[in-house]
Amino acid sequence: MKSCKLSWLLVAMLSMIVAVFTYKFTVGEVKPSDDGRLAVQLSKDERNALLLEMRTWLQNSQGMLAAVSAQDFATVANLAKSSGMAAEAETPGSLFRKIPVEMKKLGFDTRQKFDEIAIDAEKLKDSQHTIKQISTAMNNCVACHATYRFVDITSR
């Protein structure tokens, strides 16, 4: 009888641990911000990594637009690939615990959109199609920036 109670106690404790990790993974480390957005709480290094990723997306989007205007679809594809899902390996794992699930969805969707741009640029070589794809991907950027800000909690 004692081993049965111990087993149930262990199951309950493990369930609570899983629930806490699930909650943290879903909600992330956010607080309301004075500007109406959610402030994602990050270390200096995590914030710098995230800001670098966003700058890269912006630079690559501008580069893709310049390449489209020159009908250089190989460059479009290369720039898009460098912001696609393969680049996710460079994202620090600690960010996944800290950013909310909706932000994760936007990030993954944006990377997938860059992969689609690369594929279509190589196949279709259609300027208007590529411009529409870039515009759609950038809607994710606008949505993210409208919803979140990134706070360095180590400088407080």
The range of the structural domain enclosing residue 123 comes to: 28-155
Asked if residue 117 has pLDDT above 50, the reply is yes
Asked if residue 8 has pLDDT above 80, the reply is no
Query: pTM higher than 0.85 for the full model?
Result: no
Amino acid 16: pLDDT: 62
Asked if residue 36 has pLDDT above 70, the reply is yes
Residue 92 falls inside a structural domain: yes
Return the H-helix or E-strand segment holding 31: strand 30-32
* 4-10: Cβ within 8 A, 24+ apart: none
Strand order through the sheet with 148-152: 30-32, 38-42, 148-152
Residue 2 falls inside a structural domain: no
The tally of domains found in the chain comes to 1
Residue 1 falls inside a structural domain: no
Amino acid 10: pLDDT: 72
Any idea what the CATH number is for the domain that residue 107 is in? Answer: 1.20.120
Per the CB < 8 A criterion, the answer to whether 127 and 68 are in contact is yes
Per the CB < 8 A criterion, the answer to whether 48 and 92 are in contact is no
Q: What are the CA-CA distances from residue 144 to residues 2, 38, 95, 150 (Å)? A: 52, 10, 15, 11
Residue 15 falls inside a structural domain: no
Q: Which residue has tokens 């920036």?
A: 145
Q: What is the mean pLDDT of the chain?
A: 89
Query: Average pLDDT for residues 68-81, to the nearest whole number?
Result: 98
State the pLDDT confidence band at 19, using cuts at 50, 70 and 90: very low
